[in-house]
Amino acid sequence: MGNKVAVLGAGSWGTAFSIVLADAGNDVSVWARREEIAASINERHENVDYLPGIELPRTITATHDPERALAGADVVVLAVPSQSLRENLPTFLPFVDKDAVFVSLMKGVELGTLKRMSEVVAEVGDIGAHRIAVVSGPNLAREIARREPAASVVACADENVANMLQERVHSPAFRPYTSVDVLGCEFGGAYKNVVALCVGMAVGLGFGDNTTASLITRGLAETARLAMNQGANPLTLMGLAGLGDLVATCSSPLSRNRTFGEKLGQGLTVEQIYASTRQVAEGAKSCSSLRALAARTGVEAPIVDAVDEVVQGALTTEQLMEAFISRDTKAELS
Ligand SMILES: NC(=O)c1ccc[n+]([C@@H]2O[C@H](COP(=O)([O-])OP(=O)(O)OC[C@H]3O[C@@H](n4cnc5c(N)ncnc54)[C@H](O)[C@@H]3O)[C@@H](O)[C@H]2O)c1
Ligand SMILES: O=P(O)(O)OC[C@H](O)CO
């Protein structure tokens, strides 16, 4: 095995992360669902649909053929939308080396099963935790693609694998920290998308920084409550994959989740927003799965509940804000 990494998914983050991997010295083979995206990467060294205007390193090649993408790769990076992972894995798995390590970039929780992405990989592929890692942190794709400095977390239950991956993804502009708390990183990544939807709604309604800071802070409390209930290290939620990503996503106009929420706050319907973009806003689906998980485990999750109600059309964004501010008072650290 050499230094080949297969990146499965040629969207914004799959492509931007490929730049990190190439800058870190890896040969990168990207699997694109659409042939024209693979052609654009190979011929123009640009992903014209998802990262227009960004020149890609020549060590990134792309293919529509999963077998070619995966041949000889010892690291397999998964970057498809969370809700499509289960249907995609059987296409990839026959071509994955038996010792290859999977790295999930995805930030969502599966509808119905309520499983995290690493759990879906483990279940569908019958793969041990020592071969499944996640990368998660404040990493907006376009900023990473422009090589703006950023940090992130590489988490794997096996610390040696996390260390190996840290070296493989460490580039001049991308600083990875290791962790063994896969669960905490995954909850941080999935939950912040829902909080960003909520913050976006507040922005769309015309509210300012006091409102958004209040939602971000209570969103972090809510994230930590559910993640700790599931077994996360609370300090993970205070780190890059928790607070760091929450702040980046809730603050940035580049965030698809925040933008989705903002459009809802401005009065657009969910259907209109879906029709206006090809890119995924994971929180619009994961709000339902996180809500169901919180209900199943008896964890109070008012932000996730209310965002899901808005996405389902059962609550307006004005009613969401009213519900947030008029809840029964309580101690902050309860
Ligand atoms: N964009 C970011 O800044 C960023 C950063 C960190 C993590 N992530 C996470 O990475 C994951 C991928 O996000 P992205 O930003 O690349 O999304 P994207 O919407 O930009 O691209 C998604 C890619 O998946 C493909 N796709 C869509 N439906 C598919 C299906 N059913 N089966 C297979 N492929 C399908 C699309 O063609 C596209 O190539 C998400 O979970 C997201 O939360 C994104
Ligand atoms: O554009 P979003 O909202 O999917 O967020 C992108 C990243 O997850 C930020 O770290």
Residue 1 has pLDDT above 80, yes or no: no
Residue in 192, 184, 204 with CA at minimum distance from that of residue 303: 192
Using one digit for the tens of pLDDT, what is the confidence trace for 91-112?
999 999 999 999 999 999 999 9
Residue in 175, 188, 180 with CA at minimum distance from that of residue 161: 180
Q: What is the distance in angstroms between the CA of the first residue and the CA of the last residue of the chain?
A: 51
245 is in an annotated binding site: yes
Residue in 132, 67, 128 with CA at minimum distance from that of residue 101: 132
192 is catalytic: yes
Residue 159 has pLDDT above 90, yes or no: yes
Using one digit for the tens of pLDDT, what is the confidence trace for 111-150?
999 999 999 999 999 999 999 999 999 999 999 999 999 9
Residue in 187, 168, 185 with CA at minimum distance from that of residue 176: 168
257 is in an annotated binding site: yes
107 lines ligand 1 (CB under 6 A): yes
Element (H, E) at 121: helix 117-125
Using one digit for the tens of pLDDT, what is the confidence trace for 4-34?
999 999 999 999 999 999 999 999 999 999 9
Using one digit for the tens of pLDDT, what is the confidence trace for 27-86?
999 999 999 999 999 999 999 999 999 999 999 999 999 999 999 999 999 999 999 999
CA 182/CA 190 separation, integer angstroms: 12
Going across the sheet that includes 60-63, the strands are 60-63, 27-31, 4-8, 75-78, 101-104, 132-136, 150-156, 174-179
- C-beta atoms surrounding 280 within 10 Å: 23
Average pLDDT rounded to a whole number, residues 277-286: 95
Using one digit for the tens of pLDDT, what is the confidence trace for 244-279?
999 999 999 999 999 999 999 999 999 999 999 989
ipTM: 0.99
pLDDT attached to residue 334: 83
Delineate the domains of the chain, giving CATH numbers in brackets: 4-180 (3.40.50.720), 183-325 (1.10.1040.10)
Q: Ligand 1, atom 36: nearest CA belongs to which residue?
A: 11
